[in-house]
Amino acid sequence: MDHIQQVIDTLAPLGFSIDPVIHDLKEKISRENAELQALRDQPAKYDGKLPLYDFQKIGAMFMRASNGTLLADVPGLGKTVQTIASQENHPLRTLVLCPASLKYNWKEEISKWSDRTAQVIAGDKEERARQWPRYYNWTIANYELLLRDYEEISKIKWDEIVCDEATKISNPRAKSVKALKQISAPKKIALTGTPISNNPVDLWSIIDWIRPGYLGNFSQFKDKYVLTDWWGNVAGYINLDELSDRIAPLMLRRTKEEVFKDFPPKTTEDIVFELSAEERKVYEGVKQRILEEIQSYLGKIDQRTLALIPVKMLRLLQATDHLKLIGEKGESSKLAALKDILEPIIKSGEKVIVFTRFAEMAKILEKELKDQQPLMIYGDVPAEERQVLVNLFNTRGLCHPIMISTEAGAYGINLQSASYVVHYDLCWSVAKLEQREGRVHRIGQKKPVTVYRMIARNTIDEYVAKVLHKKHKISQDILQDADTGIEEKDIQQILKL
């Protein structure tokens, strides 16, 4: 029925007769859609008691009224509390799927904003098997359990399924995504501040889970919106305005600028420094070795080799971070520059979060900054312990001015007690940078936020920083916030061919 108007428009001119029942059903669907869209401007419809902003009231009521919603507010606008509020007077049996690092954050938020029951699925297989059948309003599990516990999950009659950080389901070929699509529920909600992480194709799987068939099957979607070259590789995108219009009825997306005219400003400053002669020598040596390794690929890079090369390029990023990361001895100019930045911040009594993509670098930073008693979140820190660290960091008066984090801390957690963010190294993805900054620049933040990007001159740092400025065009046509991924010309420029 999502395509009924298109069917009628196509078949009627060919002489097909349309049963009046179909016309009546089409009109009913049109009325329901119109009523749903009217909720976008009516915060007064909210019937709960939570202290929500008007845009959050709209989000809560929109999710309640719709059977399939993509809530795509930018990071920091409270997608979790809106989801909780959508059930405030209408309790359901809800399954929340999220990254493992966010499970206990979800439970804490539910306890904070609701009196509904909640459980986190954890432990070994036997323990989890006992937990699943228990009736709770909210059952919270990480995505990995979709495959490990599929039999138990699929037996339960869920009223609603919520997928948090829904880019986790953007790959339609993943076994976990296929398993998810076999689990039925009358209501489905996808939450993500970055629905397009790399390209518009990411949207298809998310929307297809929310509303199966809404964008056609995967082949139909690609035929309509994706340009491919002779070898079947993505060469570009078409009809993006049409795609934006098509997904609009299912999606709510608000930016901070739209909903808070006086939201504390965020400023970004590049901290540019020179590598030492020793570091430069090592960097150029690494670059030359990479060039020799990939020389045979250049000029005929396909999707497979394009996925392999960035892994090699990480060695260049590591070389600008600290020579220890690539097994060399020597001091780090970037670390020295970081210490210069942190000193006045700490003396002023402010808090700062430092992001790096490398767990080993996080450990080096923890050791180098030990006098400040930094806290640290990285992949090996258990989810329950992460929430304890977040609470410690956000507690006023405690002497933990620095949080060091890998990407493990870039999703879902609230660190608004900080007013400074430092990107010790940059991601290739605009979306991931926004996720990092959204931990601080979010609701509850009362101070202006300053973002520092550490950039070594004439290195991969500098090139990535330049490219990040250019990676918004496709996203602006759809959502205002995606990037297009690494391309062969980027690789050649970084290696200065």
Pairing of strands 138-142, 187-191: unpaired
Choice among 35-39, 140-144, 337-341 with the minimum mean pLDDT? 35-39
Average pLDDT over residues 444-461: 88
Q: pTM of the predicted model, to two decimals?
A: 0.71
What pLDDT was estimated at residue 308? 64
What pLDDT was estimated at residue 335? 95
What pLDDT was estimated at residue 102? 82
Does the pLDDT at position 480 exceed 50? Answer: no
Instruction: Give the mean pLDDT of the chain.
Output: 86
Residue 497: what residue type? L
Choice among 162-171, 317-326, 373-382 with the minimum mean pLDDT? 373-382
Residue 496: what residue type? K
Token pair of 483 as six digits: 């990037």
Average pLDDT over residues 395-405: 82
Choice among 356-360, 395-399, 420-424 with the minimum mean pLDDT? 395-399
CA distance 274 to 459: 10
CA distance 87 to 73: 19
What pLDDT was estimated at residue 272? 86
Spell out a b/e string for 110-123, using b for 16 or more CB atoms within 10 Å of the CB, else e.
beebbebebbbbbe
CA distance 210 to 318: 39
Average pLDDT over residues 347-353: 89
Domains along the chain? Answer: 42-256 (3.40.50.10810), 266-494 (3.40.50.300)
CB 56 within 8 A of CB 86: no
- Position 242 confidence tier, pLDDT thresholds 50, 70, 90: confident
Average pLDDT over residues 467-484: 50
What pLDDT was estimated at residue 306? 58
- Position 425 confidence tier, pLDDT thresholds 50, 70, 90: very high
What pLDDT was estimated at residue 207? 94
| 462-474 confidence digits (pLDDT tens) | 888 877 655 544 4
| 70-98 confidence digits (pLDDT tens) | 999 887 788 999 999 999 888 899 999 99
Does the pLDDT at position 133 exceed 90? Answer: yes
| 174-207 confidence digits (pLDDT tens) | 999 999 999 999 999 999 887 776 567 788 999 9
- HSE-up (13 A, CA, CB side) for residue 309: 27
- Position 398 confidence tier, pLDDT thresholds 50, 70, 90: low
Higher-confidence position of 493 and 85:
85
DSSP conformation class of 326 = G
Residue 140 — φ and ψ, nearest 5°? Answer: -115, 125
Average pLDDT over residues 339-366: 91
CB 337 within 8 A of CB 454: yes
**35 Cβ partners below 8 Å, 6+ apart?**
65
What pLDDT was estimated at residue 470? 58
Q: Above pLDDT 70, what percent of the chain?
A: 90
What pLDDT was estimated at residue 411? 73
DSSP readout, 152-193? HHHHS--SEEEEESGGGG--TT-HHHHHHTTS--SEEEEE-S
| 286-310 confidence digits (pLDDT tens) | 988 888 887 766 665 555 565 667 6
CB 129 within 8 A of CB 152: yes
DSSP readout, 339-350? HHHHHHHHHTT-
- Position 251 confidence tier, pLDDT thresholds 50, 70, 90: very high
What pLDDT was estimated at residue 483? 39
Higher-confidence position of 483 and 197:
197
| 25-68 confidence digits (pLDDT tens) | 889 988 888 888 888 888 888 988 899 989 999 999 999 999 99
Does the pLDDT at position 481 exceed 50? Answer: no
What pLDDT was estimated at residue 233? 74
Average pLDDT over residues 344-368: 91
Chain-centroid distance of CA 451 in Å reads 19
